[in-house]
Amino acid sequence: MLTFHSEDTKKRQAKTELHAGELVAPFECPERVDIVIDRVRKVGLGEIRSPDAYGLDPVLAVHDRRYIEFLENACDDWAAAGFKGEPIPSIWPTRRLRDDVIPANIDGRIGYYALAAETSLCLGTFAAAQASKDIALSALDHVMRTGEPAFGLCRPPGHHAAVDQFGGYCFFNNAAIAAQHALNNGMKKVAILDIDFHHGNGTQDIFYERDDVLFLSLHGDPRDEFPYFLGFADETGRGKGEGFNVNYPLPSGTDYATWASTLDDAIQRIAAYQAEILIVSLGVDTFENDPISSFKLKSEDYIDCGRRLKALGIPTTFLLEGGYAVEEIGINTVNVLTGFEG
């Protein structure tokens, strides 16, 4: 299987994450990329290619123009305001406040465009997010051209990013950008299967009223887990999108037996939909030793997961999302891919 990879994904080197009331070193760190690519090389997964440059048009097909401009300039605006730390929001247009006025002051504007406060911005973030979506698009294009699978070693991840919001370590929604690109290039039915531990709120939101993208997500029950405010089972889509959004919230402590039988239900729905292309939002924060998550998958389980996905027989693009047990992120991610290769 081809891997798409770029060193530019490591240009995001934030110093801080707001975690449990403290500023800590971010869980979503550049070393994740090195460890995954080392494992790809070690197992001989296949050729490693650099992505093509697609520019911002495919991003504009999914995200709001002013949001993109905000991301590009936020660090400069923050510094110009005299703020010393990394950009972090401290106020949002929550219930009983207005969300129809975009603040001029960067302190307010960052809250308008953020869905969470843990994700600090930093100077290299925009460049890394661009590399990440280029990787997703290159992988998707390879799959569309050849029918062969591909792995996009995306970083930063994307599935929490909504039309005009960043957060959960995500800025551009790589899976959504790739899915829209597939539709714009002749595909009629795309499925996105999100197996990251966290609900893919951004992806769900982007396609919620549409029937040309089937979105399915297995994740920690939002009553207990980030992003808390989306990802419940009764969110099934709206309008012509009704029935094209499927959430599988699962309890803390979920092991592979339960997780895999849930995966099989999702796989059956993808088959029934007759998707022409499958995008897997591949997070491995379902791992038993993940520092911020609560499922109990073991390294060998990821091989079996890959095998089950292969049985669908649909051209498949894997895009990296989360996974914070950094020592094992290479083994776990690549196990899915080798399981898929058979």
Q: Which range binds ligand SP5 by CB under 6 A, 49-57, 104-112, 167-175, 304-312?
A: 167-175
Using CB under 5 A as the binding criterion, the count of chain residues that bind Zn ion stands at 6
Partner from ligand SP5, Zn ion, none binding residue 118, C-beta < 5-8 Å depending on class: ligand SP5
Q: Least distance to ligand SP5 from the beta carbon of 147, Å?
A: 28
Q: Which of 111, 222, 322, 330 binds ligand SP5 (CB under 6 A)?
A: 322
321 near ligand SP5, rule: CB under 6 A: yes
Amino acid at 284: V
283 near Zn ion, rule: CB under 5 A: yes
285 near Zn ion, rule: CB under 5 A: yes
Q: Least distance to Zn ion from the beta carbon of 290, Å?
A: 8
Among candidate residues 142, 159, 160, 219, the one labeled active-site is: 160
115 exposure class (CB count in 10 Å sphere: 0-12, 13-18, 19+): buried
Active site residue 198: no
* Residue indicated by tokens 């001989």: 44
In this complex, which beta carbon is closest to Zn ion, that of residue 58 or of residue 158? 158
The C-alpha atoms of residue 44 and residue 255 are separated, in whole angstroms, by: 29
Using CB under 6 A as the binding criterion, the count of chain residues that bind ligand SP5 stands at 15
Show Cβ contacts of residue 27 under 8 Å, excluding neighbours closer than 6 positions: 17, 19, 169, 291, 292, 324
Q: How far apart are the first and last CA of the chain?
A: 11
326 near ligand SP5, rule: CB under 6 A: no
The C-alpha atoms of residue 291 and residue 287 are separated, in whole angstroms, by: 9
Binding mask 225-254 for ligand SP5 (x = CB under 6 A): -x----------------------------
Q: Least distance to ligand SP5 from the beta carbon of 196, Å?
A: 5
Amino acid at 333: T
Sheet strands (E) in 180-324 = 190-194, 213-220, 245-250, 277-282, 316-320
Partner from Zn ion, ligand SP5, none binding residue 91, C-beta < 5-8 Å depending on class: none
The C-alpha atoms of residue 109 and residue 116 are separated, in whole angstroms, by: 13
Task: Report the catalytic residues.
Answer: 160
